[in-house]
Amino acid sequence: MSIEWIIRIVVEYWPMFLRGAGVTLLIALIGTVFGALIGLLSGVLRTIPMPEKGSKRLLLKVVNLILSAYIEFFRGTPMIVQAMVIFYGAAMAFGYQMDPLIAGIVIVSINTGAYMAEIVRGGIISVDQGQYEAAQAIGMNHVQTMMNVVLPQVIRNILPATGNQFIINIKDTAVLSVISISELFFQTNSIAGNNFRYFESFFVVCIIYFIMTYTVTLILRYIERRMDGPANYVIAGEMDTAEDIKRKTTGA
């Protein structure tokens, strides 16, 4: 019956599942990290105060235009289509077959970058104006202000959204099976094609996807708590002694 088949599939095909899960995690993780870096860079560039005149102003306008085009284009088209266009396009243009794994990482990075650019922009806007002013008043320039004051706060603020993006990437790498990357969905398809047990095979992979995403959620929650630290600060020597606590609780 089904349960037996599920167990058989796990026992028989676990190395394939494991390899697929590894490839999926690899693409999702590297893609999210590169995407976040693209997003941070684009966020810093797009918040440079516009000079009133001169060639710098023109340069900045061109950069902003390119960034907007990039963001709108990659947010506005499906990743599965981007995968086809980039993979087969590169093959046609340069006459060589990209390694599917590399292609997958590139596609996920670029796609994530487009979303992260907007997330980072939101994160930068949400940092209190006073933080910029204080940094400027101390004599910091835009890059120093960003690196030492704003971005560390942005990273904390966008952590939940970045985690979200990471989870989406773990799931959405499934579409990369169209360029025959042997990630988890692709592997499962092969397994099911071998034994014709589609329900059981995909039930197993369903659980594997959930374990991966839920583990990521837990890890991110832990990191957030670590970054926030305790709400109170105790000066050495000012901590309540056992007697203080006893006195307070008994009201004596």
Partner 1 sequence: MAERRDEKMSTVVDIQGLSKSFGSHEVLKDINFSVNKGEVVTIIGSSGSGKSTLLRCVNLLEKPSGGQIIYNGENILDDKHNVHQYRKNLGMVFQSFNLFNNHNVLGNCVVGQIKVLKRSKEEAEKVAKKYLHVVGMDAYVEAKPRQLSGGQKQRVAIARALSMEPDVMLFDEPTSALDPEMVGEVLKVMKELAGTGLTMLIVTHEMEFAREVSDRVVFMDKGVIAEEGTPEQIFNAPQKDRTKEFLQRTRK
Encoded one letter per residue, x for contact with partner 1 by CB under 8 A and - for no contact, window 84-123 reads ----------------------------------------
DSSP assignment of 76-116 equals SS-HHHHHHHHHHHHHHHHSSPPPHHHHHHHHHHHHHHHHH
- Shortest separation between residue 48's beta carbon and partner 1, angstroms: 14
Asked if residue 194 binds partner 1 (CB under 8 A), the reply is no
3-class secondary structure, 127: coil
* Eight-state DSSP code of residue 83: H
Q: Does 51 bind partner 1 (CB under 8 A)?
A: no
Give the range of 14-22, 93-101, 151-159, 177-185 binding partner 1 by CB under 8 A.
Answer: 151-159
CA dist 244 and 121 (Å) reads 49
Distance of closest approach, residue 230 Cβ to partner 1, in angstroms: 8
Q: Residue 142's closest CA among 117, 124, 116? A: 124
Q: Is the distance from CB of 111 to CB of 85 less than 8 angstroms? A: no
Min separation Cβ 152 and partner 1, Å: 4
Total number of residues that touch partner 1 (CB under 8 A): 25
Considering the rule CB under 8 A, would residue 49 count as an interface residue with partner 1? no
Query: From the CB of 19, what's the least distance to partner 1, in Å?
Result: 40
Cα distance between residue 183 and residue 185, in whole Å: 6
Cβ-contact 17, 98 below 8 angstroms: no
Q: Tell whether residue 229 is a contact of partner 1 (CB under 8 A).
A: yes
Segment lying near partner 1 (by CB under 8 A), choices 68-76, 115-123, 146-154, 184-192? 146-154
Please tell me the distance from the alpha carbon of residue 242 to that of residue 39, in angstroms, as a whole number.
50
Nearer to partner 1 by C-beta: 53 or 96?
53
Among 21, 71, 107, 149, binds partner 1 (CB under 8 A): 149
